Each structure stands twice: as C-alpha cells, then as structure tokens.
Amino acid sequence: MRPAARDAPTAQGERVARWPVVLAWALWLLALGGLAALLWLGWLLRAANRADLSPLQVGYVPAALATLAAATIGALLVGRQPRHPVGWLLAGMALGLDLDGLAQAYAGYGLLAIPVRCPAPATWWAPASTS
C-alpha cells in the first residue's frame, strides 16, 4: 500500500493519518447506537409496566441531547485536527454518557422489571459493601 493511499494531504503539504478520523466516526456511530439501545430499553421498561424506570421521560432529554452534541462535535473536531485532545474528550464523554444510561436502564430492567430473563444485572447494580 502506498503512503499516499493511507494518508490524506493537508494544506501545509504534510500528511495526516486517516485512522484517528475513522476511529472518531466509529465512536460517533457507537454513541448513536447506544442512544438507540437506550430507547429500546425504555420501550421494554414501559411494556413491563415500569415507566418510572424508563429513560423515555422528559428529564432524560438534556442528557440525550448532550450525548448527541458531544459525539458530533467530537467527531468533527477529530476530523479536522486529529491531535487535538478536546475532540477525543468529547467523543469519550458521549460514549461514557451512553454507557451510564444503558447500565442504569439495563439494571432497572433486569432487577425490577423482568429479573429472570436478564443475565448479570445484579453484579452491576449491587453496592460494593454488602454485608
């Protein structure tokens, strides 16, 4: 593979690797997939008559918008300047917000809504000092 096929030229003539840009947009896709999974878990919680645990409430809208904004802005920043740390921090923050929401929704669904069907939510939700 020629170096020109791997690298994209910049305005100054130097070459920048494409893998950080691909990784940033992959993190963006993971963040969107996490939001879709969160909506699905919210629908499952509502179907199990546990709407109080569902992330499909008005209070979760700012967190969902922050996740979407952080993922998009992070991917755009990394696409323009792959070495800039703010883009990576925003992409990581979006993924962390997604994982937090998914863990809470899955634990609520697995422990309270349908405890028999979900594997291992008790290990996520259980406090560290149980005696």
Spans of all domains in the chain:
17-115
Tens digits of residue pLDDT in 41-60: 889 888 888 888 888 888 88
Phi, psi of 14 (to 5 degrees): -80, 160
Between the alpha carbon of residue 94 and those of residues 99, 100, 114, the distances in Å are: 9, 10, 28
pTM of the shown model: 0.71
Residue 2 in 3-state DSSP?
Answer: coil
Tens digits of residue pLDDT in 111-121: 777 766 666 65
